[in-house]
Structure 1
Amino acid sequence: MVTLNKIYTRTGDGGATRLATGEQVSKAALRVEAYGAVDEANACLGLARLHTSEDAELDAALARIQNELFDLGADLSTPPRPDETNILRMVDSQVERLERELDAMNEALPPLASFILPAGTPAAAHLHLARTVTRRAERAAVRLIEAGEPLGPAALRYLNRLSDYLFVAARHANDRGASEVFWTSGATR
């Protein structure tokens, strides 16, 4: 465990920060935007967990995902290099676990008959917020790739699957679909 004596470094005072490699970059760099959005999604999950204590299985999964989001942040803050060793990277088994858990939760839910609004129970509303922030992180990761910046191979897959997982988790948290709020197309015309 790392112990810090000071929380501030003053590096950011001029608009710069350091990646895990020590390389100094702009706080507006695409890589910083991507792992910053992951950090924000993690904070949203912390808020959601204030409302999931009654569902031990979901709460435990969200706690694990919060830890995995720190892994993802480490992955995103460390540009891949051909000679790298002992670098924390997302792995396929983390994506596969999300898929298995997502599928199991989804099987217990009624089929979707309409688009649903990001509402319902407090847990569901916070999970929907985490889902949208995760989608933003995913878009930032795609922009990073499109700019020619390398990513760990499982990072983007994890983000994509996590947003799907959070959608299903929000439905689950909405009393297993019973408290969902459905979109009514053109209702206010």
Structure 2
Amino acid sequence: MKLFHYHFWTDRVEETENYYRKLGFTVGSRYAMEKGTVTPYHPPLEWEDFRENALLFRIIEVRRGKVNITFGAGKKPIFDHIGYLVSEEELEHICNRADVMGWKTEIGARRTFIFTPYRFKIELQTRKETVNDEKISISRMMIKGPDESFKRDLERLFHRNLEEIVFEEGEQLQLQEVWMYGVEGSGKDPNKVIVTGC
């Protein structure tokens, strides 16, 4: 089981993509709503090719090593979920525990989502091709939130201590900081997430 992913909604889609590209991430995919239809705008297309179309991007995926980040258009930055790479066996056990805890589970062909009572989802991913073998990976994350039972419940769900999740009390749920192995320096993305190399 490995923490590999985070997703948020943002009103700074292009700026967010540019920030992560400067850190060495590559764009895996871009999907926008256009006249009621989801349309791909994947590379080699660049923003200069479609910026004037005023597209509403549903999802943009950037990748580097064992890190996968997605974001889509929103009215303001909102932290949506984190993701773990899991085995089929781990997936089954985690979903069973979520059921016992009374948390809704949405099992899909491509990924599974667990809906927590904290206005926050957890993605469980079994497809290893969502990342590559480069040594870049997420070391840990600091998540702010109003409820201190958040981390305890996540540890119950995963049936282990979550050393990779640091919880800090705050007024609303937000991703505060992400530490990544293999990334140099420290900076703040356009959504106020601090990205720190380690």
- State if a TM-score over 0.5 links the two structures: no
Q: Which is bigger in relative contact order (C-alpha 8 A, separation at least 6)?
A: 1
TM-score normalized by the length of structure 1: 0.28
Structure index of larger Rg:
1
Give the structure with the larger strand fraction: 2
